[in-house]
Amino acid sequence: MRIDMRNARLFIGGSRRLPNALLSMLVHTLLPILILALTITTAAGCLGSRSVGWKPVELARDQRAVAAALPSGWFFFDDKAADPLILTRYGAHMDIVRVTQNGKLPFKLPYTELPINAGMQPYEAAEAVVNNLLVTPGVFDLTMEELAPAEIDGADAFRLSLSYSIENGMRRRALIFGAIHGDHNYYTEMAMYAHEDYYFDAVIGDFLALVNGYKIK
């Protein structure tokens, strides 16, 4: 970081300016001390907190263990407080897989007032998901390509295929599976979002294997 002191002014008694020589001495003496103190404080804060960030799926444990079903090269965002589980293969700006596990019904979606309710049929839950995407900031020109029945671990589900543009004009594709289960008490969703030019085709095989092998708990 470069600090430009040409326009800096220090005053004693509100009116007198420090001599340039003294000002230069203060800057060169105190600035390294301040930087060192800031570094020590930051490091101490990091040591006292849990490591959060992208980690190889081989390290996934507990409620994140579903990530370990993906092949080497995938990463999960390790944050126990975060829900849903977030995964990526080539980087979060290129592809994202989101796994929402056992969301309690009624399940509130982020941007729409229409929740997923107990008693909904799979296609009705899919409509709520589409409504949420329609009002999601940064999503433009949303096109629904397919809505079909599916299964997640034997539970009736929907398979929803969409495409949309983001703010920079690039197109993304989404493939979303959702199921209401557990006597209509829970909602599980497995969704993949990726740039359509290359990354969607590159990760869809791994994603579908994850869906097909998923076990509802």
Q: What is the pTM of this model?
A: 0.76
- The string of pLDDT tens digits covering residues 180-206 is 999 999 999 999 999 998 999 999 999
**How would residue 49 be classed by pLDDT, with cut points 50, 70 and 90?**
very low
Angle CA 84–89–90, to nearest 5: 120
**How would residue 42 be classed by pLDDT, with cut points 50, 70 and 90?**
very low
Of residues 34 and 118, the one with the higher pLDDT is 118
Of residues 199 and 25, the one with the higher pLDDT is 199
Q: Which one is the CATH code of 53-213: 3.90.1150.10, 3.40.1000.10, 3.40.630.30, 3.40.50.740?
A: 3.40.1000.10
User: How far apart (Å, rounded) are the C-alpha atoms in residues 29 and 144?
Assistant: 63
Instruction: Tell me the DSSP string of 59-100.
Output: G--GGGGGGGGSPBTBEEEE-TT-SSEEEESS-TTTEEEEEE
